[in-house]
């Protein structure tokens, strides 16, 4: 139907046609918000501003969602919006696609991890989120700050680096700034050694078959977690191979 034919339609048919067009546009927008992490971010976080580095990171996260990437290290300076995208919006988007998945969130302190946990949990209850992912819902008894479930068996755990995660598997593990600036300033290598030991005996051993790990951090030196992971893979050809 061309424009001239539309112009000659009765008013009632024009209104009906506009309604169908509007419905089609809304469906396309919801699909785009579902498939594209940056579009999702802008839909659920009003005023979200994406830079070139956010778009690059979002493409990596799409590959993680699709199972194309399993081990990713993102090194970036503070105050570049890394945690907002990686530790808040990405886990919510991931659970939108995989509501039965298990997500493990770790930062240098348990309290910070629980802050992210609350934000993700609350986002799942947001009306805009529900429009995009209607099949991802919290279970009726999910009220905990550091641990909650979806209605179909998905789980979210928040833990501080060094904290116990015994019995908690993960399809997606996000480690956001495992070293705090305050600890690094002490000049002791102990904080680096502890984080490395915890990683080896904690998250890596609790990963579900086929699960993915994202390490997001500011670099602090040749003993930080990024350095240890790279050094380990160089010295051990059979170790996890990381994309940095």
pLDDT score at 204: 83
pLDDT score at 22: 61
Q: How far apart are CA 29 and CA 132, in angstroms?
A: 9
| pLDDT, tens only, 33-72 | 999 999 999 999 999 999 999 999 999 999 999 999 999 9
pTM above 0.85, yes or no: yes
pLDDT score at 185: 82
Lowest-confidence region among 23-32, 34-43, 203-212: 23-32
Give the pLDDT band of residue 223 (cuts 50, 70, 90). very high
Residue 217 burial (CB count, 10 A): 21
SS3 29: helix
Q: How far apart are CA 155 and CA 3, in angstroms?
A: 52
Q: How far apart are CA 51 and CA 26, in angstroms?
A: 25
Q: How far apart are CA 202 and CA 168, in angstroms?
A: 10
Residues 6+ apart with CB under 8 A from 118: 145
| pLDDT, tens only, 93-104 | 999 999 999 999
Give the pLDDT band of residue 6 (cuts 50, 70, 90). low
């Amino acid at each position: 139907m061309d424009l001239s034919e539309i112009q000659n339609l009765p008013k009632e048919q024009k209104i009906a046609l506009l309604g169908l067009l509007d419905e089609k546009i809304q469906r396309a927008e919801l699909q785009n918000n579902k498939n594209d992490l940056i579009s999702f971010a802008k839909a659920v976080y009003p005023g979200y501003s994406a830079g070139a580095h956010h778009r690059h990171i979002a493409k990596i996260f799409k590959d993680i969602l699709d199972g194309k990437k399993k081990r990713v290290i993102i090194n970036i300076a503070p105050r570049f919006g890394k945690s907002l995208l990686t530790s808040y919006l990405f886990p919510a988007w991931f659970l939108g696609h995989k509501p039965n998945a298990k997500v493990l969130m770790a930062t240098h302190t348990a309290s910070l991890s629980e802050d992210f946990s609350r934000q993700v949990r609350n986002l799942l209850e947001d009306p805009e989120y529900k429009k995009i992912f209607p099949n991802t819902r919290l279970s009726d008894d999910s009220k905990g700050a550091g641990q909650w479930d979806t209605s179909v068996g998905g789980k979210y755990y928040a833990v501080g680096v060094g904290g116990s995660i015994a019995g908690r598997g993960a399809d997606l593990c996000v480690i956001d700034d495992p070293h705090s600036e305050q600890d690094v300033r002490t000049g002791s290598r102990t904080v680096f050694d502890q984080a490395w030991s915890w990683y080896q005996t904690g998250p890596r051993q609790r990963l579900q078959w086929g699960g993915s790990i994202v390490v997001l951090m500011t670099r602090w030196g040749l003993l930080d977690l990024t350095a240890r992971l790279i050094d380990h893979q160089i010295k051990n050809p059979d170790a996890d191979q990381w994309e940095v």
